[in-house]
Amino acid sequence: MRFLPARRRVLKAALLPPAAAVVPLRFVADAHADSVAKPGQFSYFMPVEFTFVEAAVARLIPNDELGPGAKEAGVATFIDHQLSGPYGRAETWYMQGPWKQGTKEQGYQLKLTPAQLYRTAIADIDDWCSKNGKRAFAETDTNAQDQMLHDLENGRITLARAPAKDFFQMLLQNTVEGFLADPMYGGNRDFIGWKMIGFPGPRYNYVAEIDQYGKHYTMPTIGLLGRDGKRTKES
Amino acid sequence: MNTRTRISIAVGIALVAGSMTIAPTLLARESSHAELARGEYLVKAGDCAACHTNEDGQPFAGGFPVPTPFGTIYSTNITPDPETGIGHWTSDDFYKAMHSGIAPGGRHLYPAFPYPWYTKLSRNDVDAIRAYLATLKPVHQANKPPEMPWPFSDRAVMAGWNALYFKEGTFQSNPQKSAQWNLGAYLVEGLGHCGACHSPKNFAGAPEHDKAYHGGYGENWYATSLASDLRDGLGQWSEQDIVQYLKTGANKRAAAFGAMAEVVHDSTQYLDDDDLHAIAVYLKDLPAKSTTPNANPPVDGTTTERATTTNAAPANVNGDRFARGRGHYLDQCAGCHMDNGEGIAGVFPPLKGNNVVQASDPETVVHIILTGAKTAVTDKNPTGLAMPAFDWKLDNQQVADLVTYLRNAWGNRAGAVDASKVADTRRTIVAARTK
Amino acid sequence: MATRLPHVDVVLVGFGWTASILAQELTDEGLNVLAIERGSFRDTVPDFATTQIQDELRYAVRNELFEEPERETLTFRNSMDQTALPMRHLGSFKPAAGAGGAGVHWNGQNWRFLPTDFVTRSHTEQRYGKNFIPAGMTIQDWGITYDDLEPFYDRFEYLCGISGQAGNVNGEIQAGGNPFEGPRKRGFPLPPLKRSYGTVLFDKAAKEVGYKPFPCPAANTSEAYKNIYGVQMGQCTFCGFCEWFGCGNYSKSSPQTTVFPVLLKKDNFKLRTHASVTKVLLDNTGKRATGVVYVDLQGREYEQPADLVILTAFAQHNVHLMLLSGIGKPYDPVKNEGVVGRNYAYQITSSVDVFLNDVVNPFMGAGALGQAIDEFNGDNFDHGPEKFIGGGYIALWTTGGRPILQHHLPKDAPKWGSGWKKAMKDNYLRTVSLATHGSVMSYRDAYLDLDPTYRDVYGNPLLRLTFDFHDNEHRMSNFLTDKAQGIAKAMKAREIHANPRKGHYTIVPYQTTHNTGGAAMGTDPRTSAVNRYLQSWDVPNVFVVGSCAFPQNAGYNPTGTVGALAYWTAHALRTQYLKKPGPLVSA
């Protein structure tokens, strides 16, 4: 089935006076000037979903004294692209029933594709915030965001439909992927992730360096699309 | 393919050398088996299948499009089918086509069929070729007319072309040279028709004889010079290097790819060692095209000694371009060709000291970078090692900088290459693909 | 209604290592051979080209080169009292799909098993007594010996161009090699790879502790190589993208880089891709196969007649096809009868992460660039006091430093936030990891059968895996992990973090694709599905080749033994079966 949480949420939020004050913020682009939603900007996310994911990844890998984090690296865009593709649709997964809850050794047994899990969980989290009189995730302060993420991680928050722990694990995994995958996928912008850890990118020949024990490798970072990581224009 | 019959040319040459004329009647007709085997060998040496067998087509049934600057010609059916092939041709008909470029009925052939070279063949060898072709399975497949605009569509034009550029005549041996040299000359100038690609052509598509084997351009490939210049030529190649290259598709200095990989695969790998040595002797005797061939001697690409100039741009190359090109090289190419440009012996060819890389016209190296390439597949080297295409990955300026680097790194020396040159090549390759 | 196709002499189901070898050898006999492959055709260029293959997300994380559970998977449970549920996406193991099979994406860790590994039961009984084998453990001898297989190990190694240092040539121990290996007739075709910093540190530490470390045999070429078929290979450049990737510069042995160039040229070989074999057809006696049925991508069904059917798919798929086709009696763990599905085994792995002060540049590596000790493998040590059977090697592999999946963090590092970032920054360049690679014995309650509920896209029941680690394996693995920690401590580490294998076997995190058994080879038709030549006892014109033939799993990566078995079977076919088709061993 297809979920339409954004529209549902708008209606629902409008009916809830205590939360109404925060509703416009969620849809006013200039609250987050660098993540303005333009028509067609996202492959999968609704603007409100993108805002949630961008806020969440900014806590999972924050911008701090060690350098820029997941938000600056474009991880939310990366996740948006991933969810709109075969991964988001669980295209290669076995998705036939019957559906049963298994042991943890039996692995993922949710009927939700990754894209559906995001959509469901984000809507559920917003609902949970509304119901508990809290500001929406993206609008609250970083301490509260960290606390909420910890609570999702440990299953201390029970969401209406999506299993919180499963969603958190998927979000964290995708965030690390987006921070450390080749920049051509939209994340790891300007090699933020690779430069932080010291991975020089896809280089094919270390014959001269492999026995230079203990020495830092000095060649510039590259991506599959070159040293700027971006697809170059045909000249 | 193991029963290789030695070409009878050696015998023929011996006779020629003595009498100075080809006297077919002196060569008594051998048993038909020997003649057929010789004919099969000659058909391979002449690489007839390259044009006369279309991709996925029946052997020798023609239909292969041969692009020329004047339009597209389709190769013809040379199976013995009486209606659509050459089954009804007499032996004299066939000889006239091979020797004079004139088909039965007086129809002039276009020199995409290399009669300007095949004219050198002895009658005996031509008869052996015909005898072999007569044993092929007849294929009923009508020939496609050439797609050429007037005036080229008028075959009578060819009479004029022939008058200007075609020198009919059987191979005349040079008594000043050895029998081996003469055999090599007969193969290179005749059946091998090496000059069809490796010699520059004039505006009419005729080889420029005064620049024979100085390198030729065609279909986005630059067939490298076979002259004895050290950088842009075979000057550094030994006879054995040439033999090994033609036999196996690769040697320590180079690997065949593109059109030459097909030539090695279809033709030269089947040649007898004596014939290959003769070719090598003849090629090694070609003069240099440069008047100062020994100035600025190159590094030998096959030594493991590192050139001292590895990282420095020579005076004729912009330092920034050289540095950018070096970056592209290390990022994109070094996984196979190695940091030092020496490749992996027997597998990936060295670019250091490579004559194709240093060719006067960089077309081939640009082409390979854009489209990738595959080495010749032979009995000795069955692998067909492939290089991937970079057209989607590098833009024209990047390719130009990279090629400029290749042509001047590790002691190499050749002119810088502009992005506009790469753009031209890219455009024509794309045009050829989409045609 | 299936379309009936023209007859061929031999049909091979799956086109990986074993099929490539068998096709090459049987076409040399003049037979018409057809390989049917469920995946697509792939070759070095363009599929694994240097221009695009180093893409961790696409290949290692999103599993581009592997089978798609959407089309076929298995169900899993730890024990018989549970309900098995489907493995919905790949986890614990990753079977390949496509031409070249797992030979495309393996690391290239190419071992021989020990002589005692082929006689596990008789050797254990002889050395430790019958009572040493715990109840429910169903280990058995292979029906062949190391000496039988030695020439075929050799042939596979010279096919691949293995880089390594021999440890035992004709009984003479060689300095620097593995002194515990079975005697080999000659050394490796290529010298060992250059050493990475990690392997040098391991080598030193292991020697200090008193072990005899050696370079692991690698299907990554240390030099250019021309193999037994004349196929040329390049030289490994330590790009660090072996496992889960194809090799872009012809330096990792795969069917593509060792067999395809000669095989695919042959007129008597044909390959059909995107074709999934769903059944082996038997005649009305049930004792003779007449061909196979396969389904193409559009769901059209074809019947391919053949004189000889050789199952050369991944271990579990071979077993699945036997069960779907009624070849051999299905195993029943309750009655302890039947053979097909019996003696499934796996491997048990653990690791010890070592955090150093020095930069080790983990991204420079090769899939089989490692240094190992073999003191605790097989029966290389006295098991008496340890009260378990089996063992494994301890190695420090430097396979690469792909950032998403190949980073190691200290025990107390946070999973996210600034603390995670700092831990990543501090440790990525300065971590090595020791691996233990342990055997798993076979048990009465570890087996494969058909699932009663779940079906694949072809409408057939999924295979059902019932498996858990047993006490014997946990004790063995803990033993190895302790020994690995001993070496790690000698490496002058800043911190050591052991990751022992605890608790139940789980289908989720990747462990290893060394699944074995289910169609065990042996001498007794009551306990083995195939004879010593991998020929079905019940349907003699069906051969079943792969690690499904292992009666239990040894402590080494299986590919070397799988390749040797393929040559062993090819030899039996060429020298015996083709001369006189029929059972090669009387039941």
What topology is assigned to B179-284 in CATH? Cytochrome Bc1 Complex; Chain D, domain 2 (1.10.760)
| A27, pLDDT greater than 80 | no
User: pLDDT-derived band of residue C462, with 50, 70 and 90 as boundaries?
Assistant: very high
Q: Which residues pair with C304 in a beta bridge?
A: C292
pLDDT in the model for residue A1? 34
Give a yes or no: residue A95 inside a domain: yes
Residues 504-533 of C with CB under 8 A from B: none
Is A230 within the bounds of a domain? no
Does B381 have pLDDT greater than 70?
yes
C497 is catalytic: no
pLDDT number for residue B435: 61
A222–B334 C-beta distance less than 8 A: no
Mean pLDDT, residues C43-62: 97
Q: How many CB atoms lie within 10 A of CB C299?
A: 8
- Each as own residue / partner, the long-range contacts of residues C497-503 (CB below 8 Å, 24 or more positions apart, any chain) are C497/C352, C497/C353, C497/C355, C497/C408, C497/C410, C497/C411, C498/C350, C498/C351, C498/C352, C498/C353, C499/C350, C499/C351, C499/C352, C499/C353, C500/C350, C501/C348, C501/C349, C501/C350, C501/C469, C501/C474, C501/C477, C502/C474
Q: What is the DSSP letter of C115?
A: G
Question: How far is the alpha carbon of B381 from chain C, nearest alpha carbon, in Å?
Answer: 7
Q: How many CB atoms lie within 10 A of CB B241?
A: 18
Q: Provide the β-strand partners of residue C218.
A: C109, C163
For range B92-107, the mean pLDDT: 93
How far A18 CA sits from the closest chain C CA (Å)? 31
pLDDT confidence bin for B293, thresholds 50/70/90 = low
Q: How far is CA B172 from CA B20, B23, B119, B277, B331, in A?
A: 7, 12, 11, 20, 53
Among the partner residues C43, C232, C237, nearest to B335 by beta-carbon distance: C237
Asked if B419's CB is within 8 angstroms of A205's CB, the reply is: no
Average pLDDT over residues B206-225: 87
CB within 8 Å: A100 and C420: no
End-to-end alpha-carbon separation of chain B, Å?
Answer: 36
- Given a cut of 70, whether residue C20 has pLDDT beyond it is yes
The phi, psi pair for B235, rounded to 5°, reads -55, -35
Q: pLDDT category, C466, cuts 50, 70, 90?
A: very high
> 23-52 in C: which are within 8 Å (CB) of B?
43-46, 49-52
At B270 the pLDDT is 96
The pLDDT tens digits of the residues spanning A77-94 come to: 999 999 999 999 999 999
Among the listed ranges B163-167, B231-235, C65-69, C252-256, which one has the minimum average pLDDT value? B163-167
* Chain-chain contact of A235 with B394 (C-beta, under 8 angstroms): no
Cα(C378)–Cα(C180) distance, integer angstroms: 10
Q: Find chains touching chain C: ≥3 CB pairs under 8 Å.
A: A, B
User: For the residues A204-233, what does the mean pLDDT come to?
Assistant: 89
Q: Which burial class, exposed, middle or buried, applies to C230 when counting CB atoms under 10 A from its CB (0-12, 13-18, 19+)? A: middle
What average pLDDT does this structure show over C416-437?
A: 98
User: What's the rounded Cα separation, in Å, for the pair C142 and B155?
Assistant: 77
Tell whether the model's pLDDT for residue B205 goes beyond 90.
Answer: no
Can you tell me the mean pLDDT for A188-193? 97
Residues A130-158: what's their mean pLDDT? 95
Q: How far is C219 from chain B (nearest CA, A)?
A: 17
Amino acid A31 reads A
Tell me which residue in C73, C196, C239 faces A203 most closely, judged by beta carbons: C239
pLDDT at B299 (0 to 100): 59
Are B360 and B395 spatial neighbours (Cβ–Cβ below 8 Å)?
A: no
May I ask the CATH architecture of the domain C3-68+94-577? 3-Layer(bba) Sandwich (3.50)
Please report where in the chains the tokens 């007569």 appear, as a residue.
Answer: B134
- pLDDT higher than threshold 50 for residue A20: no
Model pLDDT for residues C330-354, shown as the tens digit of each residue: 999 999 999 999 999 999 999 999 9
Instruction: Measure the CA angle with vertex B387, ends B386 and B391; round to 5°.
Output: 140
Closest CA relative to residue C566, chosen from C313, C220, C216, C345: C313
Q: Are C421 and A69 in contact (CB under 8 A)?
A: yes
Q: What is the pLDDT of residues C187-196, one digit of tens each?
A: 999 999 999 9
pLDDT in tens, C132-147: 999 999 999 999 999 9
CB-closest option in C46, C49, C232 to B383: C232
- Which among C46, C231, C249 has CB closest to B383? C231
What pLDDT does residue B294 have? 58
What number is the average pLDDT over the span B228-243?
A: 93
Q: Taking 80 as the threshold, does the pLDDT of residue C531 lie above it?
A: yes
Note the pLDDT of residue A231. Answer: 54
Q: Please, what is the average pLDDT of chain B? A: 86
Q: Do A208 and B339 touch (CB under 8 A)?
A: yes
Task: Supply the pLDDT for residue B70.
Answer: 80
CB contacts, 8 Å: A202 with chain C? 54-55, 239, 241
Ranges of beta strands (E only) in B244-382 are 373-374
pLDDT for A23:
33
Q: Considering only residues B156 and A144, tell me which one the structure prediction assigns the higher pLDDT.
A: A144
CB B180 within 8 A of CB B277: yes
Q: For residue C1, what pLDDT band results from cuts at 50, 70 and 90? A: confident
Mean pLDDT, residues C290-314 taken together? 97
197-226 of C, contacting B, C-beta below 8 A: 224, 226
Structural domain count of chain A = 1
Burial of C411 (0-12, 13-18, 19+ CB in 10 A): exposed
pLDDT averaged over every residue in chain A:
85
Burial class (CB in 10 A: 0-12, 13-18, 19+), A227: middle
Let me know: does B302 contact B252? Beta carbons within 8 Å: yes
Residue of B nearest to A232 (CA): B395
- pLDDT greater than 90 at residue C423: yes
Q: Determine the pLDDT at residue B156.
A: 77
Residue A229 resides in a domain = no
* Contact between chains at B331 and A205 (C-beta distance less than 8 A): no
Residue in chain A lying closest to C416 (CA): A60
Chain B closest-CA separation from residue A91 CA (Å): 27
Name the residue in chain B with its Cα closest to that of C48: B388
Q: Assess whether pLDDT exceeds 90 at residue C495.
A: yes
Q: Does the residue A34 lie in any domain?
A: yes
Domain residue limits, chain C: 3-68+94-577
**Is A27 domain-assigned?**
yes
The Cα–Cα gap between C508 and C90 comes to: 8
Question: How would you classify residue B290: left for phi > 0, otherwise alpha for psi between -120 and 50, otherwise beta?
Answer: beta
Mean pLDDT of C512-519: 98
> Residue B292: pLDDT band by 50, 70, 90 thresholds?
low
Q: Using DSSP bridges, classify how beta strands C85-86 and B71-74 pair: parallel, antiparallel or unpaired.
A: unpaired
Q: Integer distance in angstroms from the first to the last C-alpha of chain C? A: 36
Mutation site for A-interface testing, chosen from C85, C201, C456 by largest number of A Cβ within 10 Å: C85
Asked if the model's pLDDT at residue C376 lies above 80, the reply is yes
Task: Tell me how far apart the alpha carbons of residues C307 and C45 are, in angstroms, rounded to a whole number.
Answer: 35
> Looking at the predicted structure, is the pLDDT value of residue C447 above 70?
yes
CA distance A130 to A118: 18
Task: Kindly state the tokens that stand for B246.
Answer: 């033609």
Q: What is the mean pLDDT of chain C?
A: 97
Q: What is the pLDDT averaged over residues B113-142?
A: 94
Whether pLDDT at A10 is above 80: no
Inter-CA distances, B378 with A88, B5, C151, C176, C224, Å? 47, 18, 29, 39, 18
Residue B25, pLDDT above cutoff 90: no
Does the B319-434 domain belong in CATH 1.10.760.10?
yes
Q: How far apart are CA C318 and CA C341, in angstroms?
A: 10
* pLDDT recorded at residue C200: 98
The partner residue sitting opposite A100, judged by closest CB among C83, C422, C424, is: C83
* Chain A residue closest in CA terms to B399: A235
* Residue B355 near residue B223 (C-beta atoms within 8 A): no
Give, to the nearest 10 degrees, the angle between helix B396-406 and helix B319-328. Answer: 100
Q: What is the pLDDT of residue B258?
A: 87
DSSP C61: I
Domain assignment of residue A50, given as a range: 5-187
- Under the banding of pLDDT at 50, 70 and 90, the label for residue B414 is very high
Token couple for B299 = 């590094």
- The residue from C317, C437, C470, C514 that is catalytic is C514
